[in-house]
């Protein structure tokens, strides 16, 4: 992950970035009429308006994709902040406190049942390391 945030939030960030780029291109194209005159400015404005519209359509696609992923995401309670969050894939981050979450016990780094009573659970990977067969 590039921004070290939840995957859904990262997709939404890219959608927002594309929206801002598209709107910026449209404004810059319209300003071309002021800087280069009416005739050549119209051509520049038309080009930049089309590029901005393409960026806005890509943004709409990214937002739609993030929404579809969000509907199939696993919802769970973050153990750190206690808020309900969504998780995509095997590992993800909490949307609120950015704690790394996983549902795969092989990728987990801390086991709550070990920390609570100081004993090692027989099903945990730490038990397998201490008890080779």
pLDDT of residue 88: 85
Continuous H helices in the chain:
7-36, 38-71, 112-117, 125-130
Residue 95 lies in a domain: no
Q: Scan for tokens 């393409």, then name that residue.
A: 54
pLDDT of residue 111: 57
pLDDT of residue 113: 57
pLDDT of residue 119: 47
| 91 SS3 class | strand
Residue 32 lies in a domain: yes
Which range of residues forms the domain containing residue 41?
7-72
Number of domains into which the chain is organized: 1
Residue 127 lies in a domain: no
- Exposed/middle/buried for residue 12 (C-beta within 10 Å: 0-12, 13-18, 19+): middle
pLDDT of residue 36: 83
Residue 25 lies in a domain: yes
Residue 29 lies in a domain: yes
Residue 43 lies in a domain: yes
Q: From first to last of its 133 residues, what are the pLDDT tens digits of the chain? A: 455 777 888 888 999 999 999 999 999 998 888 888 888 888 989 999 999 999 999 999 999 999 998 888 888 888 888 888 888 888 888 888 888 888 777 776 765 555 455 544 444 444 444 444 4
Cα angle value 122/126/132 (rounded, 5°): 75
DSSP E strands, 1-133: 74-77, 84-87, 91-93, 100-102
Residue 130 lies in a domain: no
Token reading at 50: 């089309």
State the DSSP H helix or E strand holding residue 3, giving kind and residue range, or none if neither. Answer: none
Residue 96 lies in a domain: no
């Amino acid at each position: 992950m590039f921004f070290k945030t939840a995957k859904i939030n990262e997709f939404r960030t890219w959608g927002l970035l594309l929206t801002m780029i598209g709107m910026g291109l449209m404004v810059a194209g319209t300003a071309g009429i002021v800087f280069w005159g009416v005739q050549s400015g119209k051509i520049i404005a038309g080009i930049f308006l089309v590029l901005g519209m393409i960026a806005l359509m890509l943004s709409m696609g990214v937002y739609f994709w993030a929404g579809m992923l969000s509907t199939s995401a696993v919802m769970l309670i973050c153990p750190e902040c206690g808020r309900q969050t969504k998780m995509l894939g095997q590992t993800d981050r909490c949307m609120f406190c950015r704690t790394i979450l996983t549902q795969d016990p092989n990728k987990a780094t801390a086991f709550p049942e070990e920390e609570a009573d100081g004993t090692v659970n027989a099903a945990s990977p730490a038990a397998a390391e201490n008890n080779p067969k």
